Structure 1
């Protein structure tokens, strides 16, 4: 792969194929923001991906984010961790997958946080976790229940 600067912009060569690479700008609060124009679709993007065939944006390459492939259950579990992290910070047991069942009542109030604020936020975390465990229970019941209805 090689990138060459020309007077009208850039050219990029990847996989033996040379494509023009254009830049565009937008105004930002700090000045000017530079963007790439996708050589395939012309879409403005911050990142271009190099494949063995082309240089293109995420959509033209057919890429997606991992979170777009998550099930409802996985998305809810990630959200539970994110909510716990927002309240308690980088508390080591939160990062261990096996300790998700730990009750939020077992975690202490963060320093310098008012009790009323802490209890309100902990209540929000607990409400969301209840919804998560309701979905989880339904999935586990479906998995471990025989087709004749016996467990």
Structure 2
């Protein structure tokens, strides 16, 4: 299963929003486009633990789950601290927990991969080209305020990316046609 398609909770975002300070609770929900994909109720038990309460399943197979997740703090180099989830399955220190199979766990325990891990050369080149194109204006024009040197470098990377993609496509086509 791909990480981008699963409901997940990120301790960094919750800490940034101040949800993990003190005791109390909050609700968290996910959406796929405009459609709601799920929600949970989070109870904060001081700085070291949370309870994630949610329902999963459909019809007569609905189950209510209350899962305890420990929060671990590590000191930062220049002061302060960083919060992490302790995976409920293996106790590894992680920033993100994924909901799969009705329970939360880390990427390793839940056997979750990123979409980019299954990309071939063509997909990687397309993704790289789109990333460069997002930095440029329409029709690959230099955006206002961008240095000419930066634009020249990006434009050269874009041309190289297109050339490499065409070469990879030609190799794929030759392989599919049985040419050598």
TM-score normalised to the size of structure 2?
Answer: 0.57
Q: Structure 1: where are the runs of 5+ without partners? A: 92-105
Q: 1:142 to 1:32 in 2, by over 3 A?
A: same
Q: 1:51 to 1:125 in 2, by over 3 A?
A: closer
Q: Pick from 153, 168, 174 the counterpart of residue 135 of structure 1.
A: 168
Distance 1:119 1:49 in 2: 41
Aligned to 1:102: none
- Report whether the alignment pairs 1:75 with 2:124: yes
Task: Give CA-to-partner distance per residue, 1:28-52, whole Å, 9 cap, x none.
Answer: 4573221110011111112222334
Task: Give CA-to-partner distance per residue, 1:49-102, whole Å, 9 cap, x none.
Answer: 23344321121111111111111211111111112222x14x3xxxxxxxxxxx
Distance 1:108 1:3 in 2: 47
Q: Which 10-residue stretch deviates more, 14-23 or 50-59?
A: 14-23
CA contact (8 A) 2:132 2:154 kept: no
Q: Structure 2: where are the runs of 5+ without partners? A: 1-39, 55-62
Aligned to 1:108: 141
SS at match of 1:48: strand
Distance 1:72 1:35 in 2: 34
Aligned to 2:92: 43
SS at match of 1:36: strand
Q: Pick from 49, 60, 71 the counterpart of residue 9 of structure 1.
A: 49
Structure having the higher strand fraction is: 2
Distance 1:21 1:113 in 2: 46
Aligned to 1:26: 74
TM-aligned CA deviation for residue 123 of structure 1:
1.6
Report the aligned-residue RMSD.
3.0
